[in-house]
Amino acid sequence: MKAIEVIGEGKEARLELGEAPTPKPEARELRIAVTASAVNRADLLQRRGLYPPPPGASSVLGLECAGVVEEVGSEVRRYPLGARVMALLAGGGYAEQVVVHEGSVLPIPDGMSFEEAAAVPETFLTCYLNLFRIGAVREGQWVLVHGGGSGIGTSAIRLLRAAGVHVIVTCGSLEKVERCRELGADAALNYREGPFAPEVLELTRGEGVDLVLDSIGAPYLEPHLRCLRVGGSLILIGLMGGAKAEINLGMLLARRLSLIGSTLRARSVDEKAAIVHGFLERFGEALRSGTLQPVVDRVLSLASAQEAHDVVERSEHFGKVVLRVRD
Ligand SMILES: NC(=O)c1ccc[n+]([C@@H]2O[C@H](COP(=O)([O-])OP(=O)(O)OC[C@H]3O[C@@H](n4cnc5c(N)ncnc54)[C@H](OP(=O)(O)O)[C@@H]3O)[C@@H](O)[C@H]2O)c1
């Protein structure tokens, strides 16, 4: 099958279309003929050798896909041959075929295209896991999310607004600020124009947000502790700004704050199945009715995977960059 290969190492590593062995499904796995995949920031790290796949996962890049079931293992019950599905992957999405445990698979609603569906699993499930399962946000609460125009940011805005939660995002340009407001963010702040913490406190009448979904890390730790309300949670999902920071434990203690690290990719198939199940229970109807949709920035061909990475690296995108694998 055709699959994207990483040629070279480190900063010089480039993506090229090559060949890889067609994977065979195990008993509880199914094989998907991939129609579309999508780019996630983690793929850029993996390309440079900084985020290796978990043990047992495909070494081909790609954390999500949409396509058609073309072979099922002996114990797969839920998805027949020919079903239109999208899937959360530990790897292997940038290829014509991929195998995945049935618990990581979701049906594609009627009316949703393969390109749209490929943009759903990784960021929607990450946001659902961290905001609703771990963070347990409730209607009327306030959440701060960074990179409002990112895959994670646009998915968070859509899920939080669907649940009646107030969301403040940060962005690096006026254009993204405006687009995040149009998408439903209660407020969008340009982080290049000044510190976000005072504005977050003002927007929340001095009380602070209930939860921060943090993909930046070190440089934002101190302002995060200042703009969380008493009893609030900081959920760390990425380290785009750096990993090492000094923390005033007194602030955690006195204000009863929680600091939680969270990853999705390396979780067990059972944990992922529970997350997928919970997501479909909570948001399946909104997906089916079309009121909940991913934001697709652009669709490029699989052969243009390097160009897609360059777009994401420069943060030119708003929403998800999708790769069309076949017509
Ligand atoms: N732990 C997990 O399970 C998990 C799962 C999925 C994703 N993630 C993490 O979530 C993050 C987002 O992923 P993604 O794929 O959605 O990324 P993405 O689409 O590439 O977007 C990242 C965005 O962050 C913004 N940004 C950069 N520096 C910033 C700063 N200092 N303050 C605010 N925004 C900033 C940039 O937009 P601007 O143009 O606005 O600067 C950039 O577009 C990544 O760190 C990723 O690793 C974690």
CATH of residue 143's domain is 3.40.50.720
Q: What is the pLDDT of residue 195?
A: 97
Q: What is the pLDDT, as a whole number, of residue 124? A: 98
**Separation of CA 172 and ligand 1 centre (Å):** 11
Ligand 1 contacts CB of residue 223 (under 6 A): no
The predicted pLDDT at position 211 comes to 98
Domain end point (choices 210, 231, 261) = 261
Reported confidence tier of residue 105, pLDDT bands at 50, 70, 90: very high
Write out the residue range of the structural domain in which residue 200 sits. 124-261
Q: Same domain for 246 and 187? A: yes
**Residue 56: which CATH number?**
3.90.180.10
169 residue type, one letter: V
Q: Using CA positions, which residue lies closest to atom 45 of ligand 1?
A: 238
Mean pLDDT value across residues 48-61 = 95
Q: Is 320 near ligand 1, meaning CB less than 6 Å away? A: no
- 123: CA distance to ligand 1 center in Å? 11
Looking at the fold, whether 133 and 251 belong to one and the same domain comes out as yes
Digit-coded pLDDT (tens) for 57-104 = 999 999 999 999 999 999 999 999 999 999 999 999 999 999 999 999
Q: Alpha-carbon distance 60 to 74, whole Å?
A: 25
Q: Is 263 in the pocket of ligand 1 (CB under 6 A)?
A: yes
| Arithmetic mean of pLDDT, 51-55 | 94
Atom of ligand 1 nearest to the CA of 170: 33
Confidence tier at 111 by pLDDT (50, 70, 90): very high
For residues 176 and 223, state if they share a domain.
yes
Pocket lining: 236 vs ligand 1, CB cutoff 6 Å: no
DSSP-assigned letters across all residues of 186-206: SEEEEGGGS-HHHHHHHHTTT
Positive or negative, the Cα torsion across 16, 17, 19, 20? Answer: positive
Share of the chain above pLDDT 70, in %: 100
pLDDT at 270: 98
Q: What is the mean pLDDT of the chain?
A: 97
Q: Is residue 96 domain-shared with residue 132, that is, in the same domain? A: no
What pLDDT shows up at residue 238? 97
Torsion region of 205: left, alpha or beta (phi above 0 gives left; psi -120 to 50 gives alpha): left
Q: Pocket of ligand 1, candidates 215, 216, 220, 313: which has the most ligand atoms within 8 Å of its Cβ, to mutate?
A: 215
Q: Within this chain, do residues 109 and 156 fall inside the same structural domain, yes or no?
A: no
Mutate which of 104, 130, 134, 152 to test ligand 1's pocket (most atoms within 8 Å of Cβ)?
152
- Are both 156 and 104 inside the same structural domain? no
Same domain, 102 and 170: no
Instruction: State residue 4's pLDDT score.
Output: 98
Using a 6 Å cutoff on CB, does residue 190 contact ligand 1?
no
What's the whole-number mean pLDDT along residues 164-175? 98
- Residue 177's pLDDT band (boundaries 50, 70, 90)? very high
Q: Is 171 in the pocket of ligand 1 (CB under 6 A)?
A: yes
Query: What backbone phi and psi angles, to 5 degrees, belong to 317?
Result: -85, 160
Same structural domain for residues 30 and 140? no
Are 86 and 182 in a shared domain?
no
Q: Which atom of ligand 1 is nearest to the CA of 262?
A: 1
N-to-C CA span, the chain: 15
Distance (angstroms) between ligand 1 centre and the Cα of 201 equals 23
Total domain count for the chain?
2
- Asked whether 272 lines ligand 1 (CB < 6 A), one says no
Which residue is associated with the tokens 């067609």? Answer: 22
Q: How far is the CA of 2 from the centre of ligand 1 (A)?
A: 29
Q: Which residues have C-beta within 8 Å of that of residue 64, sequence separation ≥ 6?
A: 37, 38, 40, 86, 87, 88, 89, 93, 118, 119, 120, 121, 122
Do 103 and 35 share a domain, yes or no? yes
Please choose, from the candidates 177, 207, 215, the residue with its C-alpha nearest in 3D space to the C-alpha of residue 41: 215
User: Among residues 261, 284, 312, which one ends one of the domains?
Assistant: 261
pTM reported for the whole predicted model: 0.98
